[in-house]
Amino acid sequence: MIEVKDVSLRYRDGTLALNNINLTIGESELVYLTGPSGSGKTSLLKLIMGMEYPTSGIVRVMGQSIPEEKPEDLRNMRKRIGPVFQELKLVPGRSAMENVLMGIRFLDFSRQEIKENAADALEKVGLAHKADSMVENLSWGEAQRVAIARAIARKPGLILADEPTGNLDHDNAVNILNILASFRQKNTSVIVATHATHLIENQRNITIIRMSGGNLTVEKRGGEK
């Protein structure tokens, strides 16, 4: 599903955010991306979304090479990704439902499907009752769930969530991680960048990527103790 080979990412100001990393993520994997602030988590997610291009090396995501040969290839690849941004990127002055709808209106769904997917997604994150609330009136945890609903309404093959538990208390953080984990299925992988490592310590059947200064180590944890 994702292949990152000998990839470095250097920003224009000279910062080396990813230092010759290698990584393979398969279908239906649940991956936690951890590491201190500035270690390269968001940079790696942006690379996988095609929002940044590798300075060197090869990235392949769901069969698509980055950089792409044709712009529409990247657009098609992005249609299959459900992103949850660190800064949420909700549109103020619009309701929770409108925000979810905005995330899916340019995908290849019929009008009926768009309505159904959006309603289902809000239901799944437990926010059906807030569908008509303006997003700026929601609590931070609720706003985070709207951002997740917007991502999952796309029925993505790959969910990329950047620090979705930031600013949440323990119970809400557990809840958000459980919601995200529940979308891992046959054809859908889920990658979650999080500082909440204490919440994943005892989980099985997951992949943990630990980042540090643009480098990473990968632990593929099996199902048995």
Nearer CB in complex with ligand ATP: 13/72: 13
Nearer CB in complex with ligand ATP: 44/179: 44
Angle formed at CA 208 by CA 22 and CA 100, multiple of 5 degrees: 95
Choose one: 36-44, 121-129, 168-176, 181-189; the region binding ligand ATP (CB under 6 A): 36-44
Nearer CB in complex with Mg ion: 46/130: 46
Nearer CB in complex with ligand ATP: 13/171: 13
Nearer CB in complex with ligand ATP: 40/82: 40
Q: According to the binding rule CB under 5 A, does residue 34 interact with Mg ion?
A: no
Of 124, 139, 211, 126, the C-alpha closest to 169 is 139
Q: According to the binding rule CB under 5 A, does residue 194 interact with Mg ion?
A: no
Q: According to the binding rule CB under 6 A, does residue 17 interact with ligand ATP?
A: yes
157 touches which of Mg ion, ligand ATP, none (CB within 5 to 8 A by kind)? none
Q: Is 124:44 a contact under the CB 8 Å cutoff? A: no
- 124-132, Cβ contacts within 8 angstroms, sequence gap of 24 or more: 124/149, 124/152, 124/179, 125/149, 125/152, 125/179, 127/96, 130/96, 131/95, 131/96, 131/97, 132/95, 132/96, 132/97
Choose one: 32-40, 109-117, 122-130, 171-179; the region binding ligand ATP (CB under 6 A): 32-40
Q: According to the binding rule CB under 5 A, does residue 42 interact with Mg ion?
A: yes
Q: According to the binding rule CB under 6 A, does residue 188 interact with ligand ATP?
A: no
11 touches which of ligand ATP, Mg ion, none (CB within 5 to 8 A by kind)? ligand ATP
Angle of helix 111-124 versus helix 96-104 axis, rounded to 10: 130
State the nearest-atom distance from the C-beta of 37 to ligand ATP, in Å.
3
> Which chain residues interact with ligand ATP by CB under 6 A?
11, 13, 15, 17, 35, 37-43, 86, 163
> Which chain residues interact with Mg ion by CB under 5 A?
41-42
